[in-house]
Amino acid sequence: MPSGLTAGHDSPGRRVTPEPSGGRAVRAGHGGRVPSGGRVVRLRRARTALSAVAAAAALALTGQATPATAAPPPSPPGASLGEAFARAAAAHDVPRDLLVAVGYGETRLDGHAGLPSQDNGYGVMHLVSNSERHTLERAARLTGTSVAELERDTGANIHGAAAVLRALADEAGLHAADRDRVDAWYPAVARYGAPGSKPTGRLYADAVYDFLGAGLHVRVAGGERVTVPPREVRPQRGPYAGTRPGASLGPAADYPSALWNPAYSGNYSAGRGSAVTTVVVHVTQGSYAGSISWFQNPDARVSAHYVVRSSDGQITQSVRESDTAWHARSANAYSVGVEHEGYVSDPAWFTDAMYRSSAALTRHLTAKYGIPRDRAHIVGHNEVPGNDHTDPGPHWDWAYYMSQVRGEEGTTGTPFPTWGTDVSVRQRPSQDSARVATLPRPTSVRVACQVHGAPVEYDGYSNDAWSYLPDHGGYVSNIFIDVPDAWLPGVPAC
């Protein structure tokens, strides 16, 4: 979708959620500045000032949900995102690592400057206000914080989410000893993310527990790193134990490997008014499970045929190809819509697993319907006539994606996100080498190989590894490749 899956924006029906003036465009990049010496100043993600949790220690240790209180006082000067998570977790007796994993699954810990997601969710913790999810309003009641502050202030947003999770845990019957065990929180997490559908709730909570199992190492604004150590997880699924994360359509499946989580019948049109001639590429402006849940909301008035997950390329189908999904206005009748989990402004969501899985789906669709594998017939939402949307945006690697769709063997490089502005690409792996190109903003690059070169020190990091970028004909320091490992996983040495 666009810079937001705005309700009714791509459908023939009424508009449910109003858009602010000028639409809901999320910026294509959070800028930085380069001082006179040409050094890169890192300002990767905008974030509002953090605020802390006000809660007595005695309340945090009781078995009762924290009652509504006055809005929490401001955090100390320089308070970090990690401190905000720790304070909110302690105040509401929610495991800190669980709270981080929920936020990471929703937004990759990016509040997007207070702009709403496709289903009207706000902030790092994606507090939602729509007809089926009311975590934003519930957070306001539980904490005494205004809705406006919960939307804009990162610390308040985390505080509110912790209060909601605690209330859901109380409703699930978790006592003090249970709350110390991360595995016992599964039903509360599922209800936080997808209250209306058990299969979608299972999708949502399984992803959170996958993050807990693998661990997290996330770079956020100001260079701070938020970490969750890996652990063995054995989630207690409770009422979700007998639920599958999606049905199988068997021989009747349009795309055999896709899960089936159908959209609400009022969010698409039965049948087709035209032959299928086009594939439209979207970005969800929200999470995978959250987008599937939104398509199941009767008030959404939008849908897509497929949704692709960022972490592993898992695909869910929500509308049959023989029916008309409401995703691209004028192109609805003759296209198949493919949504990709993530945000237009953040290339970190566009993983190699996502590109390859989506390309395999598009390759299947083009073969099935006789669609030419070119950019006239495989288009972005922003390229459809009559649309004012921006997705998939400037970070989507069309060259790589189309090479995968065509099954070209000669394509080199694995996509990785970058951070920083005006980052130099050098002729050789050294800062003394000639500059051959510049990365003006955070983007996605293809890395062919990596090599140990001249050491680079920047922003508290030191590394001698450099990546060769075939599209730019030079090397960039691995410090500016936005992954936690200094030596990139899965990339050969040059």
Which range, of 256-260, 269-273, 282-286, 440-444, averages the lowest pLDDT?
440-444
Q: Measured between alpha carbons, how far is 435 from 139 in angstroms, rounded to an integer?
A: 50
- Identify whether the C-beta of residue 195 lies closer than 8 Å to the C-beta of residue 133: yes
pLDDT of residue 320: 98
pLDDT higher than threshold 70 for residue 35: no
Q: Measured between alpha carbons, how far is 56 from 216 in angstroms, rounded to an integer?
A: 30
Which range, of 10-14, 158-162, 352-356, averages the lowest pLDDT?
10-14
pLDDT of residue 248: 81
Question: Which pLDDT band, with edges at 50, 70 and 90, does 229 fall under?
Answer: very high
Question: Which pLDDT band, with edges at 50, 70 and 90, does 12 fall under?
Answer: very low
pLDDT of residue 56: 33
pLDDT of residue 436: 86
Stated pTM of the model: 0.78
pLDDT higher than threshold 70 for residue 54: no
Kindly list the distances between the CA atom of residue 303 and the CA atoms of 6, 146, 268, 457, in Å, as whole numbers in the listed order: 11, 31, 6, 47
pLDDT of residue 17: 32
Q: Measured between alpha carbons, how far is 172 from 411 in angstroms, rounded to an integer?
A: 51
Please enumerate in sequence order all residues whose Cβ is within 8 A of that of 492, keeping only pairs 6 or more positions apart, or say none: 449, 450
From the candidates 171, 339, 408, 457, which is the catalytic residue?
Answer: 339
Each residue's pLDDT tens digit, 187-196:
999 999 999 8
Each residue's pLDDT tens digit, 129-138:
999 899 999 9
DSSP conformational letter for 428: S
pLDDT of residue 77: 54
pLDDT of residue 411: 61
Q: Measured between alpha carbons, how far is 326 from 209 in angstroms, rounded to an integer?
A: 32
pLDDT of residue 83: 95
Mean pLDDT of all residues belonging to the chain: 85
Instruction: Compute the average pLDDT of residues 42-71.
Output: 36
Q: Measured between alpha carbons, how far is 60 from 176 in angstroms, rounded to an integer?
A: 10
Kindly list the distances between the CA atom of residue 15 and the CA atoms of 9, 121, 280, 300, 494, in Å, as whole numbers in the listed order: 7, 17, 22, 8, 53
pLDDT of residue 362: 98
State the DSSP string of 105-131: HHHTT--GGG---TTSEETTTTEE-SS
339 carries an active-site annotation: yes
pLDDT of residue 147: 97
Q: Which of 101, 168, 156, 98 is nearest to 127 (CA)?
A: 156
Report the DSSP pairing between strands 324-325 and 268-269. Answer: antiparallel
What share of the chain has pLDDT > 90, as a percent? 68
